[in-house]
Chains A and B, each alone.
Chain A
Amino acid sequence: MNLQLILLVGFGGAIVTYFAGKVWKALRELFAVIFSLILVGMIIYVYNRYSDEILKIGFLNFNIVFRLNALSWLFAIMISGITFLSILFSLKYIKGRENLNFYYAMLLLVNASMLGIVFAGDLISFYIFWEIMSWSTFLLISYNKGKALNAGLKYIIMSLVGSMAILIGIILLYLKFGSLDISFISANINTVSTKYIIYISSLFFIGFGVKSAIVPLHTWLPDAHSEAPSPFSAILSGILIKMGIYGFIIILYIFWGIKIITTLNPTLNIFTMVLSIIGALTIVIPTFIALLQNDAKRLLAWHSVGQMGYIILGISFGTSLGLAGGIFHIINHASFKALLFLTVGAVEYRTQGVRDLNSLGGFIKKMPVTFITALIGALGIIGVPLTNGFVSKWLIYKSSILEGHPFLAFAALIGTWGTILSFYKFIHNIFLGQLPRKYENIKKAPFSMQLPLIILSVLIILFGILPGIPLKVINAIGISFGLKSLNVTIWGIASDTGTLNTINIFSAVLVASIVVWLFFRIGKKSKKVPQESNYAAGSYIPEGKYHYTVEFYGPLYRMIAPYLRDVIDDFYNWLAERIKVLCNGIRKIYTGDVGIYVLYILFFLALLIFIYLRQVLW
């Protein structure tokens, strides 16, 4: 009963909020916050109350099954948590814009449909929720109009291709098994051939790959994530693209099951190998493309693609260490990427929508809280020790080295350097450097915007110092898939092939910092100077004229830019062009003359008769 109630509150909340806005505007905001908060509370309540709920309805004789297990609980809490924070952030951010009833209702609808996806225990309800999610996302991406309309269109077209692939997969599965219950299919997966498994999985992977933006299917993401309103970008990047990953995990670990992944069947091994190579490519190429971006949100968007690569790499190994790393990275990416998008949103809010990295700067003095949280987010995505990103990356590297794939580990490690370079640029160009004159009177972000930022950054540090908290939940997921249990302690992971212990790192960093800080205090006190008081070899630096970080990585850019064009996007555009030409050609046969249409019909009948006769003649 619990799950149906949660979904009821989710979908009902969206509708109620919409109509509440018609009555009274403040009521709508209140309802949006309350409904999203209630959902968080309900999901916390169902922790460890795993159950199946079967709904017998007459629709085509399908049973609708809702299922809660360790995996879906983890996803559900992330979905509702990020949505709640994003709605909280929206209160000020979106205030005064048009169509707000629609905006809040759609946010809640996306939230509810994602919850539906993770609670779905059969493929038909999975697909229905999947489509609701795709369409409501499309409407929200296009909310800003202008460029956003194109971005939304690109998203929905690629999404539709993906959904079609999933639908074909579902139909084929139904024809084979006669049931769409996920647990029924996974119990009987041994009865089908390897070829069939790979065929079906490829269909599903196209669909999930589009949603999670892995490399050849990623081209919708940079446009959509940068053009959507910032709080929704946080949901998109933080959690929505993880729905694709959820699908991958369902296919790999529930449909196939751990026995099949770890068999020595060469065809399947090649298949997972290809998946991990795709993961590695997804890390390297987008991360270095991100380096060349000058739009803050576009930079973050490209990194979302890159970070998906780490997750794919982690889950494709089929070991408990790799899966733990992959799932942990899902949580981490949700926290720091949502945080980073929201910080950009806060800056956008105060500068009336400026997000060009080359025209900002020096905001540290004006928005200190936003700076600190953005810094924590950046450290998290880089994976500096004592942030959560480090632990998950450590797990992923370790499993790729132990599994004997040093080149995959190399791709992941060099991706980290691409991340450092671009995130230093991100932090520096917005918050450090010279403050332009026109932003001298800028105010700090309002509290309702700071609160989500602070909550997320506390989570990043907390999970970095005490990785045992999430790893315990993740370990339960691994065990429910039949993987070997990890030796998780509150401080990290113990094993005979290398132990991670964050308490040592934490205390070492703490003590070293205190010692250094004491020495710093002992030295002669320094004098505070304004930003213009700079050394420039005797000449003076003209203020406000220069932004020192335009072309920040110029020399590197000149070296690598020729290799980093988004060839795949160009290919899709070329394809779209061709199809347009082809369709134009086809259009010509519709002349509008009834006589000619009758002729077509006659030809068609003649063809049918011809085919019929030939069959008879055989």
Chain B
Amino acid sequence: MVTKIIEIIISPLMAFVIGIFFLGLSRKIMARIHWRYGPPIYQPVIDIIKLFYQKSISHGFIFDLGIILALAGSIVVILFIPIGKITPLSSSGGLLVILYLMLIIPLGIALSGGEGANPNISIGISRKFILSLGYEVPFLLILLTVMKHYKTISIVEVVNIQQSTKWAIFSSPLFLSGIAYFLILPAMLGIRPFDIPTAPQEIASGPKVEYGGKYLAFMLIEHSLHLYIGIALFVNLLLGGASNIIIFIIKVIIVFIIGLFINAVFPRFRIEQAVKYLWRIPTILALAGLILTMV
């Protein structure tokens, strides 16, 4: 019981630290690729603390509630994702619950933004949902392939089977799913070339435009947790999970850095281009994986 409670407290904190580290790291690496020096790696932490003490505006009740829900949703999702051997709540409902809890996050932000009544927000949210529909098609196919292949809907089981045999990405039909997941990862994380919903130069950061002060700090935290969730799912489902925390963190960081190099060199897609891309190569790969698993 006590260990369970400690696990429940530790895993979101760890996700938070890793996510913040990702944000700092990404700014640093991007700067170096662009031949700049870049901010210190702990800059996001300074930003969050600073933002908490700054002025902000509120457009009403759901404007506040939405963002609280989004952040709470992220924390709950993290509790359902195993980290190495730590599995705080993953035994109750499995992958389907994770999939549906992940809905709370974009819905919360969208509801909050909706009350902002700003045209930039509306464009951003519309793009976010269209993009989600774009990457959910291959993503769901990948999830179903994994569930079908291992004949379980529990993520803990998936990790255990991979630990005792081999990583899913190295087993025969699932490597297609693995490639597909990697191809949609930037879209899921919302980083360039798929940062269409929050494009700063076009629509003034989209849903974030009305946020200031603590709202912006919450968005920053939410974004960092979101980076962690997307990659942690990839590691657990296809890269064999991990037997302890250290290996898990190393895997997560490696995936993130590889993703970052793509992020740094590509320009942003238009929304139609993004959806067309997502519905072509990744979807075909994921579909092929699922069909091969069935035969």
Contacts and interface: CB of A to CB of B under 8 A. Distances in A.
Interface string B279-295: 00000000000100110
B141 A410 contact: yes
Contacts of A409: 144
B115 to A, nearest CB: 5
B62 A512 contact: no
Nearest to B116: A534
> Which residue among A420, A431, A497, A526 has the maximum number of chain B CB atoms within 10 Å of its CB?
A526
Which of under 10, 10 to 19, 20 to 34, or 35 or more describes the interface residues of A? 35 or more
A421 interface: yes
Interface string A410-426: 10011011101100100
A438 interface: no
Contacts of A559: 272, 275-276
Given A505-B97, A534-B118, A499 B153 contact: no
A594 B141 CA distance: 71
B68 A520 contact: yes
B140 A410 contact: yes
A524 B152 contact: no
A188 B107 CA distance: 53
A401 B114 CA distance: 36
B129 A424 contact: yes
A553 interface: yes
A406 B147 contact: yes
A276 to B, nearest CB: 16
B230 interface: no
Contact of B97 (A365, A371, A394, A431): A394
B103 interface: yes
A160 to B, nearest CB: 39
| Chain B interface category by residue count | 35 or more
A473 interface: no
B133 A417 contact: yes
Interface stretch (A173-181, A233-241, A383-391, A561-569): A383-391
Interface stretch (A133-141, A261-269, A535-543): A535-543
B7 interface: no
B30 interface: no
A8 interface: no
A116 B232 CA distance: 55
A456 interface: no
Contacts of B61: 364, 368
Contacts, number: 226
Interface stretch (A84-92, A191-199, A476-484, A544-552): A544-552
A529 B59 contact: yes
B288 to A, nearest CB: 13
B90 to A, nearest CB: 10
Interface string A369-403: 00100010001001111000010011001100110
Contact of B210 (A375, A397, A535): A535
Contacts of A384: 100, 103-104, 107
A428 B129 CA distance: 13
A424 B89 CA distance: 29
Interface in B113-164: 114-123, 125-127, 129-130, 132-133, 136-137, 140-141, 144-145, 147-148, 152-154
Interface string B76-92: 10010000000001011
Contact of B76 (A424, A432, A500, A509): A509
Interface of A: 362, 364-365, 368, 371, 375, 379, 382-385, 390, 393-394, 397-398, 401-402, 404, 406-407, 409-410, 413-414, 416-418, 420-421, 424, 427-428, 431-434, 492, 497-501, 504-505, 508-509, 512-513, 515-517, 520, 522-524, 526-529, 531, 533-537, 541, 546, 548-549, 552-556, 558-559
The 6 closest A-B pairs by CB, nearest first: A523-B214, A432-B114, A501-B92, A548-B122, A512-B72, A526-B58
Given A516-B71, A555-B272, 14 more contacts: A382-B107, A402-B153, A406-B145, A410-B140, A424-B107, A515-B72, A520-B68, A527-B58, A529-B57, A531-B117, A535-B118, A548-B121, A549-B122, A555-B126
